[in-house]
Structures are given as structure tokens and as C-alpha cells.
Chains A and B, each alone.
Chain A
Amino acid sequence: MTARVVVDREVCMSAGVCELEAPGVFELDADGRLQVGEPTDLAAVETAVRACPTGALQLLD
């Protein structure tokens, strides 16, 4: 079982809170678009998903 993060692009406002919580996994690119890598640090990813101010992130496993 590998965890997977889904981003709702309609809802994401590029606030960048996830990048601060889990910097290795989330990154806003130069266009302000969220890039998501492998959710390696699961605890940090869970925090990031919870902390998203627009509720745009979902963790599936």
C-alpha cells in the first residue's frame, strides 16, 4: 500500500502552507502551481493535509 496525495486544483489557492509543513513533498513552482512528490514523510504529509487552509488536499492510501 502506498499513500497518495490528491490536489483539488479548483480549490487550491497556492497558499503554500503544505510546503512549509512538508517541504520535501510539496512545492509551489515558479507559476504558483502546486507540485506533489512522493509522500515520504507520512506524518508531515498528514499535518500538511490537515493544515491546508482551503482543504484542497486529500491523502489516499
Chain B
Amino acid sequence: MSTPTLHPDPDAVDLDAVDLSDRVFWGAPPQQRHAVFDRLRRDRPFAFFAEPVVPFIEPGAGYHAVTRHADVAAISSQPALFSSGAGAVSIADMPPDMNEFYGSLISMDDPRHGKIRRIVAKAFTPRVLEQLVGSVQAVVDDVVARARRTAADGDGTIDVVRDLAAPIPLRVICDMMGIPEDDRAMVLRHSTVILSGGDPELVQDEALMVTAFLAAGEELAGLMARLAAQRHAHPADDLTTALVSTEVDGERLTRQEIASFFILLLVAGNETTRNAISQGVLALSEHPVERDRWAADPGLTRTAVEEVVRWTSPITWMRRTATQDVELSGQRFPAGSKFLLFYGAANRDPAVFPDPHRFDLSRDPNPHVGFGSRGPHFCLGAHLARREIGVAFRAFADQLPDLEVIGPPARLQSSFVNGLKRLPARLTEA
């Protein structure tokens, strides 16, 4: 497929008609969304929007959409002024217990955040991940071989999401955590619901969205309780064992902290990398010159992975809340103001990225904020994601050179995750 990457004219955008709280906006093609963000960044860098309606939750006053790289960086690097504890993954103020349960350390401030982060960081050091390289490679090789068989046994087509992008991170994170084979389909189902953003295809009845989240969370917590009990009795060489046994300054994680961190890892480890891979495949199909360049030059992988993350920005935003009256780029905001940090918009800021709408696999430097900006909440799994993406795209280049996208993607209607539900493709040599 060679869809030209048209950029609708940002000057033609009617800013007064833009509503970032409207689900339909998030199902629009990225070029259209970027045209809107180009205008917001230039003309209304702290545009104010009413909050989307969430059943059973009292809507708050609204939020500011932060679209400039410099402002995203300023907010992220001042956690005392811009809190995560009021909720980082939902626009509405959720009940505190629910907030913490689904957000884990994402929705926490220091000192608690620091304590938990240091415990789990031990399980994510580059050395620990180094031992996983073989396993990431083995997972990717197996997934790729299965995709080829699926195409050969059928009509030559595959779904990039179902057959390539989803199984890679699912198997890597489940291997790391020691999740039994039989439970993995359930894990994928529930993590998809939790990060569906209420997409009508995934959560049929919007009024039941909160119920669906709770049920999904409960099932995952049940799995965790079962596994944790097993690992207490029979320690294994996996992350779950590390979580139930690790101490920092004589403190262990509580049962509740373990359960919510477990959900965070499963959900964050699955939904993000999946969408970086699926949208990376789409971007390469739209930029065949770049695709061929990467295929011919494995040395390009380091910068190419960063560009895929910048380009796709799988997590669209995180929220921060002002703890006191604050000033940003000369503007004042009262205590309690909510800010949504739009990473995908910051990642196309022309003040930082020359020719920001160009997909350039050798872009360097590339100070993107796809893993979050500098600050205590920087993505814990960044190394793991980089490794998975790098290994996956090398394998696609070497083992699936005939991979061809044959239709438009089905986009997830979610403001939070920039995701694809399906991406039809075929293997022409199948």
C-alpha cells in the first residue's frame, strides 16, 4: 500500500469546533489529528476543554491540553508542583482506591512512589533484561513463524495486530511474570478492556464501562493472588517471585501494592508495545524508502526504534494536577488545575524536531517523550519496549520481507491509547 501521507492544512482547522473530549476525534486518521495539534500548539498551547462524561463519576471543571514539548518537559520535571497522585490515567477524579488500584505507581507521588519504584526497578535493570534478549528473540521468531503458517494455511492474509503485534509483548511479559499458558488469553482480553478507553467495539455498553473495568481488574487481581501464593511456597526465576520477596529498607510490597503493580505491568506491557509495533508496520508500509533502508542496514536499528516510538506515541497523554498556583511559559494557573500532557503532539513540535512530520529512521538527536518526559515517572519498561521493537522489526525485515499491508487499519476510539484494533496484510510468498 502506498497511501500518500497528506497533512491537511492546519490553517484550515476551526479551533473553536475542536473537542478533544469527543471520542470520534480519536478515531480520525492521525494526519487530521496532527493538523489540529499543530494549530493548538501554535495558537492555544494550554487550550481548555470540558471533561468527557463518565457514567457514575462527577465531572470536574475541565483540563488544559498541553501540546508544546517545552511545557510537557517543565511539568514532568516538577513533580512537587504537578502531582500524579490525584490520578494520572483518568481525566475525571476517580474514587481514590480505584485510582490507585488501576494506576499503581503511575498515579502516586513521592515518597510512596519512590519506594515502590525502587523495589520494582531491581527487576528491570539492564542486566536482568540482558538475560531476556534470548527470550525476546525466541518469542519473536516463533510468532513470526506462526504468522507465516497462518498465511500459508489460509488465503495468504494475516492481521498484523492479532498475528504479530499482540502476541509478542503478551508472551514476553507473561514469560517474565511466569503466567501459566492457560491464563494468557484471559490476560490479553482483560488488559484490552482496561485500556479500551470505552471503545464501543470492546465495551459494548458505555453505561457498563466502569463495571467492565472493575470485572477485568478483579479477574487479574485473582490471578495475581493465586500466583503470589504459589511463588511464596515455590519461588521461581520470574518477576512475580521478585515482587513477593523483594525488600527495600526492610519493607516489602503489600498485597494490594503487588496486585496493582501486576495489573500495571500486564496492561502497560501489552497495550503500548503492541501499538508501537502495529503502527510501526503501518508507517513503514507508508514510507517504503525508509522500510527498505532499515531492511538493508541493521545498524539503523538504534535510531529507527526511537523514531517508531516518536512517530506512533502509543500513550497519548498522562495527567498532572497543580498542587499550588503555578506558572508555565508566563501563564498563571490556579491550584487544582488539570493538565493533560499530549505526548504525540509534543513529539511533533517543530521547535524541537526539524521537519517533525517527516518519518526519518536516522533522526538523531531524537529527544521524544514517547516514554514520558524527564521526571520520576519516566517509563519503567522503556528498555524492554526498545528491545522488543528492535528485535521485532529486524525479524520482520529478515523473515517477512514479503509483508504487505492491504487495507486501512481499524483504529481504536480512545483518547488515551493511540491504538490499532486490526491491520490487514498479506504475505505474498505464502
Chain A residues engaging chain B, CB cutoff 8 angstroms: 11, 13-17, 19-20, 23, 27-28, 30-32, 52-55
Contacts and interface: CB of A to CB of B under 8 A. Distances in A.
Interface residues of B, number: 20
Interface of B: 77, 114, 117-119, 121-122, 124-127, 371-372, 374-376, 378, 380, 382-383
A14 B378 contact: no
A21 to B, nearest CB: 10
A17 to B, nearest CB: 7
5 contacts: A14-B117, A15-B378, A15-B380, A28-B121, A55-B77
User: Dominant SS at the B interface?
Assistant: helix
A26 to B, nearest CB: 9
A17 B383 CA distance: 8
Nearest to B111: A10
Contact of B126 (A11, A20, A31, A53): A20
A31 B122 contact: yes
A14 B248 CA distance: 13
A14 B118 CA distance: 7
Contacts of A55: 77, 374
Contact of A16 (B114, B126, B376): B126
A13 B125 CA distance: 11
A14 B383 contact: no
A22 B380 CA distance: 19
B374 A13 contact: no
B125 A16 contact: yes
A19 B122 CA distance: 14
Contacts of B126: 16, 19-20, 23, 28
